[in-house]
Amino acid sequence: MRTLVIVFVASLLIANTSLVASAPIVITPFDRYGAIRWDDEMARLDNFAIQIQNQPNSIGLIVGVDASGGCPGEVKARAIRAKRYIVEHRGIPWNRVAWRVDGHTSDIQTTLWIVPTGASWPSSYREPNSGKGGRFTKNCKTRLQRIARSRW
């Protein structure tokens, strides 16, 4: 009888463990914004950094989406600036924050994700019929330099 109870309890533990391991982890964006002022972006990044600190088994992912016909490299510069701010100013370890540029839309877009350990990273975002076509905006060099010089 005692052996039977132990086997039953062990089978319940194994069944519960397999259910937890097989359940997909669903992630949703923490925040999403367009081409906003640097002061406004810092406030959003502060909230993002706090959330990363509160979830020690997760990584913060910054995904930038280029604007079709916008300044080449602007989204990359914004993503690098955002990561530098989170790491250098907010003190989040460099290996807990990642960034990538992913696709094109009609306007610049940045999405902040909290990705738990074991979860799949968000798939790429691309609008139908979008691409690098169109005229680039004026003063791209000045805009990129201003982003690179941003300080907190």
Q: How many independent structural domains does the chain possess?
A: 1
**Residue 118: inside a domain:** yes
**Residue 84: inside a domain:** yes
The overall average pLDDT reported for the chain is 81
Read off the pLDDT of residues 1-30 as tens digits, 9 standing for 90 and up: 555 545 455 555 555 544 445 566 778 899
Give the C-alpha separation, 36 to 13, whole Å.
50
Strand order in the sheet with 29-33: 29-33, 109-116, 58-67, 97-105
CATH of the domain at 111: 3.30.1330
Domain assignment of residue 87, given as a range? 27-122+129-149
Q: Which two tokens stand for residue 23?
A: 């359940």
**Residue 12: inside a domain:** no
Q: Which two tokens stand for residue 108?
A: 């610049």
Read off the pLDDT of residues 57-90 as tens digits, 9 standing for 90 and up: 999 999 999 888 788 889 999 999 999 999 999 9
Nearest alpha carbon to residue 110 among 141, 68, 146, 67: 67
**Residue 65: inside a domain:** yes
- Does the pTM surpass 0.95? The reply is no
**Residue 44: inside a domain:** yes
Q: Which two tokens stand for residue 149?
A: 């010089």
**Residue 14: inside a domain:** no
DSSP state of 95: G
Burial class (CB in 10 A: 0-12, 13-18, 19+), 95: exposed
